[in-house]
Amino acid sequence: MKHVRIHLETTHTEKKSSVPVDTSYWETLWDTYTSDFASVEIHCWQEETELLEELAKISANSIDQGLVKSVTITLNEDNCNYLRNHSIDSNGGIKWFTLFFYKEDIQMMEIAQYGSEIVLYGVDKNEAAEFQKLFPENADAEYFKEHLM
């Protein structure tokens, strides 16, 4: 599957090894690219108990996966608004380690490393170039014609 991968400039915090320096893209990304997605699967480290408790209030399902807990959230209007407006960590980056967005059962977008790496699937080269415009100029973008899953 064709896709674009964006790597953002990173820093670290006391609790996170890699967070984006700039998260100014976040609200526009939500407003522009998540409206057609049915659900998001969010992965947190088990020790991030406060974050997991926060997500439990809106989750449809959660699964323990060893060191990680996976929380699935249906992307209705209320949940989208909540995630859009309450995802930035005051200590840097996105609150959660990884987010996988789905349109039905097909993964369409991945946000990893607390928001440092973003992948949008199923886009042509022009759509990828448009997507890249959301991010700071120093972001590194790679376009792939194929993706072996």
- Residue reference for tokens 């700039």: 22
SS3 content of the chain, % helix, strand, coil (to 5): 25, 35, 40
Residue type at 44 in one-letter notation:
C
Q: Where are the beta strands (DSSP E) in the chain?
A: 3-7, 10-11, 19-20, 39-45, 61-65, 68-74, 98-103, 106-112, 117-121, 140-144
pLDDT, residue 119, reads 97
Give the pLDDT confidence of 12-64 residue by residue, as tens digits.
887 777 889 899 999 999 999 999 999 999 999 999 999 999 999 999 999 99
- Do the Cβ atoms of 9 and 19 come closer than 8 Å? no
| Angle, vertex CA 134, rays to CA 128 and CA 137, nearest 5 | 95
